[in-house]
Amino acid sequence: MIVEHLITDTFGSHIGKYSERLKVTHKEGALDEAPLLHLKSVLITNRGISMSSDAVEACCERGIPIHYLDPTGYVYASVMSNGLNGTVLTRRAQLHAFESPRGSQFVCAVAEGKIYNQAITLKYVAKNRAENEPEVFESLRAASTEVLDHLATVERLRGGALEDIRSAVMGAEGAAARRYWQALSVLFPNSYAWSGRKTRGARDPINSLLNYGYGILYGQIGQAIVLAGLDPYAGFLHVDRSGKPSLVLDMIEEFRQVAVDRLVFGLINRSFTVKQDENGLLDADTRKRLAVKVLEHLETEVRHEGKRFAIRTVMQMQARNLASFLRGERETYMPFKAGW
C-alpha cells in the first residue's frame, strides 16, 4: 500500500530515515514506514515523539511538510524547506495590496466564498431528505436561502477601503455562520450532545471532530500558500497578530465546508465511533482515523473553473491565483464555489 501521509501518534516513538524511506519505531519494534518517493506530508499528533535530523533534511529536500498538531487539532508548528519561500516580487505585492483596492477585493471574495459554500452545503445535506424527512428538507432549504441573504451585505461593501469594511465583512460572515450552524442542529443525534458551534476548548464529539479536521486542513492550506510564494502571516480579513498565520485563516474559509464539514456530517450519519480521553479530548485512535479520512477526502474531485480536480489541487490553484491577482496578473480573485 502506498503511504502518502505518515501520521505518528504513539508517545515515545521515533521517526528516522532508513535508506529512501521514513520508519517509525518504538521500544516494542517498528510501528510504520513510508517510502519518501510517494510521501506528501508527515503529521506528528502527540507529545513525546522525536524525529531525526536526517529525516527532517530528507523531507525538506523533497518538499514534504512536517506538521505538529496538539490533541485539539491546533497546528502549533510546521517545518518546510527554505527553498519554498517564493519570490520577493510576490511578497512585496502581497504587502502592498493591504493598502490597495486588491486587498479589499480579496476580503469580499473570501466572505463570498464562505457564505456561498455554507448555503450550498445546507442544500447538499438536504437533497436526500425530501421524501423521508420533508420537514428537515424544507428547514435546511429555507436556511440556505437565509444564509445567502448575507451576500447582499458583502456586495454593498465592495470597493471600500480595507480598514473601513473589514469589521462589517466579518459581521456578515459571522451572521451567516450562526444561521448555518443553527440549521444543521436538526441533523445531529442527541447522543452527540450538540449544543452549538464551539471552537478551541470544545469537548463534545461533533465540535471536537470539526476542530481537529480543520487543524488538518489548516496545515494543507498553509503548504499551498507557501508553495505559491505567499507569506502565510500577512493576511487581509483576519487581524494581524504576531505569530498568527492570518492568510491561512483567510484562505481556509472557502474550503472548510467541502473539505471538512461534509465529511464530518457524513461520518456522524454513519455512526462514526468517537472515543474521548479523561479530559474530553479525542483519543489517539480517533484522531488518527479522522486524520486519515480528511486526507483521503482531499483527493475527492470537485468542479472548479470548468473542470474536475481533487480538492487538494483546487487549494493549490487558489493560492496561485491569489498570488497572480496580488501581482496584478489577474483582474479579479474568484473564490472556490462548491457544487451540491
* pLDDT for res 193: 76
* pLDDT for res 140: 94
List average pLDDT for each run of 10 residues in the chain, which is 340 residues long. 88 94 92 92 92 94 90 87 72 92 96 97 90 90 96 94 94 96 89 83 89 94 91 88 86 96 92 85 91 94 93 96 95 92
* pLDDT for res 48: 92
Count H helices and E strands in the chain, helices first. 12, 10
Strands 29-35 and 41-44: unpaired
Please tell me the total number of residues recorded for the chain in this structure.
340
List the alpha helices (DSSP H) in 127-235. Answer: 134-148, 151-157, 162-184, 205-227
The predicted model scores a pTM of 0.88
Cβ count within 10 A of residue 141: 17
Q: Order of strands, edge to edge, in the sheet holding 41-44?
A: 5-8, 41-44, 66-69, 75-79
* pLDDT for res 246: 93
Domains defined for the chain, CATH in brackets: 5-64 (3.100.10.20), 88-326 (1.20.120.920)
List the alpha helices (DSSP H) in 98-161. Answer: 101-126, 134-148, 151-157
* pLDDT for res 114: 97
All residues at 6 or more sequence positions from 131 whose CB lies less than 8 Å from its CB, including other chains: none
